[in-house]
């Protein structure tokens, strides 16, 4: 593991399970703005999603690319998460979810942001306010490569995925990655 990543992980671990959002945003922004490091990582990824650092416990660092007009499903992580575009334009949408009987929900988009690569734009989310989707919206700019930093291994936890059109949630048991790369229908 290189020195930059090792120092970043140590600093992220020091933030704890419920980090100060401003400190987290500054840490991730500074990391995302290291042009030499991320140019090398994007070149090495060659269009693939890459786990830069993944372990059973502790902070996780991912490099994810969404293609033209694809978004993640609306989902939760159950751990803190921070996102920053390395290249292109990442659209991030945060939702307020109201649960009803069973798996029925009402959802309201609470925020939409466009994160531009090379600017250090960051979104931070801490549970229970971590329900979101992210990816690429046609007409906003180039497809993004996005740095995603998770406070712990989300695959250890039961999470949720939401179908806004149907007004339903689906429980994702530990280890279930959920649905990925949906056509953008929320924009």
pLDDT in tens, 14-66: 998 889 999 999 999 999 999 999 999 999 999 889 999 999 999 999 999 98
Is 50 exceeded by the pLDDT of residue 187? no
Instruction: Please write the tens of the pLDDT for every residue from 148-159.
Output: 999 999 999 999
Q: What percent of the chain has pLDDT over 70?
A: 98
State yes or no: pLDDT of 186 exceeds 60: no
Nearest residue to 93 via CA among 54, 140, 50: 140
Given this model, what pLDDT does residue 185 score? 64
Residues 14 and 3: their CA atoms lie apart, in Å, by 17
List the domain boundaries for the chain.
Answer: 3-172
- pLDDT at residue 182 tops 90: no
Does the pLDDT at position 1 exceed 60? yes
Residue 72 has pLDDT above 70, yes or no: yes
Asked whether 161 and 172 are in contact (CB, 8 A), the reply is yes
Mean pLDDT of 128-146: 95
Name, in order, each residue with C-beta under 8 angstroms of 173's C-beta and a sequence gap of 6 or more.
Answer: 158
CATH 2.40.10.120 fits 3-172, yes or no: no
Residue 133 has what pLDDT? 96
Q: How far apart are CA 104 and CA 109, in angstroms?
A: 17
C-beta separation of 82 from 12 below 8 A: no
pLDDT for res 180: 79
């Amino acid at each position: 593991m290189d020195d930059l990543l090792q120092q970043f992980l140590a600093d992220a671990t020091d933030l704890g399970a419920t980090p100060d959002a401003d400190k987290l945003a500054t840490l991730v922004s500074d990391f995302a703005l290291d042009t030499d490091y991320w140019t090398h990582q994007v070149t090495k990824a060659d269009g693939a999603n890459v786990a830069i650092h993944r372990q059973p416990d502790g902070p996780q660092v991912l490099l994810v690319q969404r293609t033209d007009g694809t978004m993640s499903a609306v989902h939760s992580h159950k751990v803190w998460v921070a996102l920053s575009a390395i290249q292109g334009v990442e659209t991030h949408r945060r939702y307020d979810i109201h649960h009803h009987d069973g798996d029925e929900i009402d959802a309201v988009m609470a925020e939409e942001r466009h994160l531009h690569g090379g600017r250090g734009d960051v979104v931070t989310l801490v549970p229970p306010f971590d329900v979101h989707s992210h990816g690429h919206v046609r007409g906003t700019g180039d497809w993004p490569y996005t740095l995603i930093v998770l406070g712990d291994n989300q695959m250890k936890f039961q999470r949720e995925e939401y179908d806004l059109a149907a007004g339903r949630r689906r429980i994702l048991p530990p280890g279930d990655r959920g649905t990925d790369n949906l056509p953008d229908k929320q924009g």
